[in-house]
Amino acid sequence: MRALHDATLRTFASDNYAGAHPEVIAAVSAANFGHVRAYGADPYSEHLGEVVCGLFGDQAGVYPVFNGTGANVVALQALTDRWGAVICASSAHITADEGGAPERMAGLKLLGVDSRDGKLTPELVDRQAWGFGDDHRAQPQVVSITQPTEMGTLYTRDELVDLTEHAHTLGLAVHMDGARIANAAAGLDLPMRAFTTDVGVDSLSLGATKNGAMLAEAVVTLTARADRGIAYIRKSSMQLASKARFVSAQLLALYDGDLWLRCARHANDMASRLGCGLSELPEVELTHPVQANSVFAVLPKRIVEGLRDRFGFYDWDRDLGEVRLVCAWDTTLEDVDAFVVATRRALD
């Protein structure tokens, strides 16, 4: 089949726009041919379990799924009863960008809390952690956090310790949406276990697609509480692949080695370079610290559309003039420098 797109085009719209890493494609190809057992009983899925235990501890279980929304819906179902509610930031992907899937498919209630930097604190959790035993209120059962947040900010390890300890004191489980968890590990310069298992996170949505995979995410259970019925939930939520070896092979390509970290470090470095370049320009203001692979900036409205037509990016707050620029595993120095130069010229 001939290519139907310009294979030289790269944008700052989203890391979802990037193609799959060649090593991921090679892994899928290597898993092809011949017959193996279906529905996760294949050697690739079995080895993935060993790899995940190496990353998160021997107690970890892994359940590959098709996408990040699926991972969040499956994980949250396992942590909640039918009358349960999940506390999250109002900007969290589960409430702002998943089409109501957690509420529609999981049958739970999302309780949002406003947070300028996208992070929750014990004090913010307490704004929604009330009404226990009141049958007129959906019962808070989970705190869901995103690492990195939708604003590209990172929870420190100490912040996560405080948050998880507070949640557990209230009887709440903690779920982490780790769609970009590799970028968080690179930004914090910590192994993933250090800010998940070791700080008390119960369940993790393990990202891959935004970091070089083609079609693969996973739920990683870190405590027995998170594992409750999850195999049945994954199947009934239409997230169990029949030819599971191809999903697991992608995850192995990233996580059975350091490809996940190499890709994330590169994307973060490109975002840091982009943020530094833009911060030196007049009339440009960075609205959040660049801690992962995203840059949030206010650009003069007169230059936005011209830059968007050439480089591709999305508005974050149209009234404010704030845009989001995302770097991916394949973003180049030339891409970044070209954007900074074009912005400077447009401002002249």
Q: What is the mean pLDDT of the chain?
A: 97
Give me the pLDDT at residue 57, please.
98
Give me the pLDDT at residue 224, please.
96
Q: Where in the chain is the domain with CATH 3.40.640.10?
A: 20-255
Average pLDDT over residues 25-32: 98
What are 306's strand-pairing partners? none
Average pLDDT over residues 228-249: 98
Task: Look up residue 330 and give its two tokens.
Answer: 């394949």
Give me the pLDDT at residue 119, please.
98
What are 178's strand-pairing partners? 206
**Confidence at 128, pLDDT banded by 50, 70, 90:** very high
Give me the pLDDT at residue 343, please.
98
Q: Where in the chain is the domain with CATH 3.90.1150.10?
A: 259-347
Residue 111 CA to its chain's centroid (Å): 20
**Confidence at 242, pLDDT banded by 50, 70, 90:** very high
CATH node for 20-255 = 3.40.640.10
pLDDT tens-place string over residues 195-221:
999 999 999 999 999 999 999 999 999
The SS3 assignment for 329 reads coil
Tokens 């003039």 map to which residue?
321
Give me the pLDDT at residue 62, please.
98
Residue with the larger pLDDT of the pair 148 and 3: 148
Average pLDDT over residues 256-275: 98
* Percentage of the chain modeled with pLDDT above 70: 100
* Alpha helix segments (H runs only) across 194-320: 230-236, 244-255, 259-279, 301-311
Gap between the Cα atoms of 58 and 286, Å rounded:
41
Torsion of CA 222, 170, 152, 190, to 10 degrees: -40
Give me the pLDDT at residue 327, please.
98
Tokens 């070791």 map to which residue?
198
3-class DSSP string for 149-196: CCCCCCCCHHHHHHHHHHHHHCCCEEEEEECCHHHHHHHHCCCHHHHC
Task: Look up residue 199 and give its two tokens.
Answer: 């700080």
**Confidence at 19, pLDDT banded by 50, 70, 90:** very high
170 Cβ contact list (under 8 Å, min separation 6):
125, 129, 140
* Percentage of the chain modeled with pLDDT above 90: 99
pLDDT tens-place string over residues 160-183:
999 999 999 999 999 999 999 999
From residue 127, how far is each of 16, 26, 92, 121, 124 by CA, in Å?
33, 48, 16, 10, 5
| DSSP code at position 82 | T
Looking at domain 259-347, its CATH architecture is Alpha-Beta Complex (3.90)
pLDDT tens-place string over residues 282-318:
999 999 999 999 999 999 999 999 999 999 999 999 9
Tokens 């027995």 map to which residue?
224
Give me the pLDDT at residue 256, please.
98
Give me the pLDDT at residue 268, please.
98
For residue 87, give the H/E element and its range.
strand 84-89
Instruction: Select from 345, 54, 36, 15 the least CA-distant residue to 179.
Output: 15
